[in-house]
A and B are shown apart, each in its own frame.
Chain A
Amino acid sequence: GENVEQHPSTLSVQEGDSAVIKCTYSDSASNYFPWYKQELGKGPQLIIDIRSNVGEKKDQRIAVTLNKTAKHFSLHITETQPEDSAVYFCAASKSGGGADGLTFGKGTHLIIQP
């Protein structure tokens, strides 16, 4: 089955700096790659996603890039703010037949230092 590796496990950046979280996946058939933000005591919140026919997607301060050949994708957060502090998860799935759950990475604890 699919295996998703995520690095780093903890990332501490100064407020205003950029943060980058990287993930690799093993199954070349995977074609959907979402990112989730989870705050303490809450469920994962979808923040951005990318499909395999696209190399990059941006939404304000957040961007995701995908390299299908290398089977890795990354989350970029620019101009970080205190409210960006949370655990971020990458995930992968394949949509053949519309049936598949998400395989998640282990998560990155992002700490924004004031």
Chain B
Amino acid sequence: DSGVTQTPKHLITATGQRVTLRCSPRSGDLSVYWYQQSLDQGLQFLIQYYNGEERAKGNILERFSAQQFPDLHSELNLSSLELGDSALYFCASSAQGGAYEQYFGPGTRLTVT
């Protein structure tokens, strides 16, 4: 158990809908990262927040957004969902940003029908 929690575990929704994925980092960690894992694209970095502020952006679509709240939990919002958005979404946390150990949560499996 990494200490990172994610809810929900599974999510099934229809195309065009909007969903919110939630992540709580390990106690004391200030940095939260979101990753998408799919069969064709592999594990891809989406976005990083550090102590409430956006720190780095990866391959995140404009339909996706995220935020980190004062209690350091983070939410990833996915809107106008398409079939291709079906994937595993992981949250990871680290004590600081950059080249420090990142610990991954168990993931949320999103299925868009």
Instruction: Let me know if B33 and A98 touch, CB within 8 A.
Output: no
B103 at the interface (CB under 8 A from A): yes
The answer to whether A44 and B104 touch (CB under 8 A), given A51-B99, A99-B98, is yes
Cα–Cα distance between A34 and B34 once the two chains are bound (Å): 17
Partner-contacting stretch, out of A61-69, A74-82, A102-110: A102-110
Scoring A31, A100, A106 by chain B CB atoms within 10 A of each residue's CB, the highest score goes to A100
A95 at the interface (CB under 8 A from B): yes
Partner-contacting stretch, out of B48-56, B61-69, B72-80: B48-56
CB pairs A–B below 8 angstroms (24 shown): A34-B101, A34-B102, A42-B106, A42-B107, A43-B4, A43-B107, A44-B43, A45-B2, A49-B101, A89-B43, A95-B97, A95-B99, A95-B100, A97-B98, A99-B50, A99-B97, A100-B56, A100-B97, A100-B99, A101-B56, A102-B35, A102-B43, A104-B43, A106-B42
Q: A32-B98, A103-B45 are in contact. List 7 more A-B contacts (CB 8 A).
A: A36-B104, A42-B107, A43-B107, A44-B43, A45-B2, A89-B43, A100-B48
Instruction: Let me know if B55 and A99 touch, CB within 8 A.
Output: yes
Residues of A within 8 A of B100 (CB): 32, 95
Instruction: Let me know if A43 and B106 touch, CB within 8 A.
Output: yes
Cα–Cα distance between A96 and B55 once the two chains are bound (Å): 11
B21 to chain A, nearest CB (A): 13
> Which residues of A are in contact with B by a Cβ distance under 8 Å?
31-32, 34, 36, 42-46, 49, 51, 89, 91, 93-107
Q: Which residue from chain A places its CB closest to the CB of B54 in the assembled complex?
A: A99
Instruction: Let me know if B98 and A98 touch, CB within 8 A.
Output: yes
B96 at the interface (CB under 8 A from A): yes
Cα–Cα distance between A31 and B101 once the two chains are bound (Å): 13
B25 at the interface (CB under 8 A from A): no
Cα–Cα distance between A46 and B58 once the two chains are bound (Å): 21
A32 to chain B, nearest CB (A): 3
The answer to whether A102 and B102 touch (CB under 8 A), given A43-B90, A43-B107, A107-B42, is yes
Partner of A101, one of B42, B58, B105, B107: B58
